[in-house]
Amino acid sequence: MTADLAVRLTENLPAERVIDDPALVAAYATDASRLPAPRAALVVQPRTAEEVSAVLRVANTTGTPVVPQGARTGLVGGSAAIEGAILLDLSRMDAILAIDAVEGTATVQPGVVVADLQRAAAERGLFYAPDPASAEWATIGGTIATNAGGMRCIRYGVTGDAVLSLQVVLADGSIERTRPATVKGVAGLDLTSLVVGSEGTLAVVTEATLRLLPAPGPARGVLGLFPSTAAALAAAAALTTGPRLPSTLEFLDDTALRGIRIARPDMDLDPAARSWLLAITDAVEGADRDLDHFVATFRAHGAVSVDRADDEEQLDRLLAARRALNPGLLALRGAATHGDLAVPRSRLAAFAEEAERIAEERGVEISLAGHVGDGNLHPTVVYDAADPVATAAAHRAAADLLQLAQHLGGTVAGEHGVGTLKLDDLDGELSSRLRGLQREIKRVFDPRGILNPGRKL
């Protein structure tokens, strides 16, 4: 089967685009979720939309599943291999085709790395706002597929808020553009937003026209250390409802801080601190007033200490603890679940209280950290992977946290996507009618069900 498929593909593509060596194919089998993946048939590395079209025509004719891939930094198994599938590696489609300062847009291929686009825009005095933690290696196509977020969402929104238009290849090989690349445009249904976040189940993105903004001011911030999670979350709530909105608002709880102290003792974090809150401004004008407001708000909510960064070098020092979060969590027990959920900002304090109850009932340690400015937390259960009892308890607690988020009016997938990892959790959030409607939409786009089957929906 693999040999026949390779022959058909090389009839339509340069032979070097098709990889069927089992050892090389296996290297593309998993994403950052590290979920076990079956063996794919082969890898194809197209360079153009026309080559993607050729792949999908063959796949559609033969009924072969296709898994679009970029940098494979996803955490939910959305770009991992499917048995017998074509792994469509789009990372070689990595050209920044145009940056238009007049229109405030960038037109790029899906394999462009997010940070490379950010730097190219900055050279023109412009700003690409989406900023996932994996920006230095994640691709534009992957962040569109998952509608990725990041630290700056409180002010600038998620990836989808920056997408104006997409060129896509449909399952039958048709090449289409979802809408003109104008700021406004309401002709027809909003297929751009439908494709964004669809995790490769509806179409393959081969080009994106993205919104660029005027360059912001230099990032500056204020760090507050607090005696409790409740105090830090109260301060965060005051900032998000106040007159001077941060561009970034990040939170770490006591469990996270304990791990960071182990991993990075050189940081000398105040031992009296039980939570950490960092507010950043990138305002061109009024940044000093922003910082004054952040300082006053933190002190009014009982901060143990307040540290102000008036330039980017000082801010980088304050951000070091946030960057040390993952190594710190692993330092506590050696293994950790991957959390990604969101609740209404008004329910963050309730979520934190209930998470503490879950930790006590399950006998586990739970870290709460994340983007409190938009209610997107990354709650993590740390555990000893060599202990099967502890491992089982950790995964039960992680499931409890997802159910808690839904109970509080939130979601099990804030910014990392659904993939295969969270499929079973959707029933607690979406009615059977809504899930059925979404599957009907997929059948319209992809009648034979070849595009990333078994994911997202």
| From-to residues of CATH 3.30.43.10 in the chain | 2-89
Query: CB of 84 within 8 A of CB of 64?
Result: yes
Phi/psi at 31 (nearest 5 deg)?
Answer: -110, -165
CA atoms within 13 Å, Cβ hemisphere of 284 = 6
Assign a CATH topology to domain 96-214.
3.30.465
- Find out if CATH 3.40.462.10 is the number for domain 220-407: yes
- Find out if CATH 3.30.43.10 is the number for domain 2-89: yes
57-82 in b/e form (b: 16+ CB < 10 A) is bbbbeeebbbbbbbbbbbbbbbbbbb
Enter the tokens of residue 414.
């804030």
Q: What is the pLDDT of residues 384-433, one digit of tens each?
A: 999 999 999 999 999 999 999 999 999 999 999 999 999 999 999 999 99
Q: What angle do CA 31, 259, 236 make, to 5 degrees?
A: 90
Query: CB of 49 within 8 A of CB of 55?
Result: no
| From-to residues of CATH 3.30.465.10 in the chain | 96-214
User: What pLDDT sits at residue 1?
Assistant: 64
User: What pLDDT sits at residue 273?
Assistant: 95
pLDDT beneath 70, residues of the chain: 1
pTM above 0.85, yes or no: yes
Pairing state between β 42-44 and 86-89? parallel
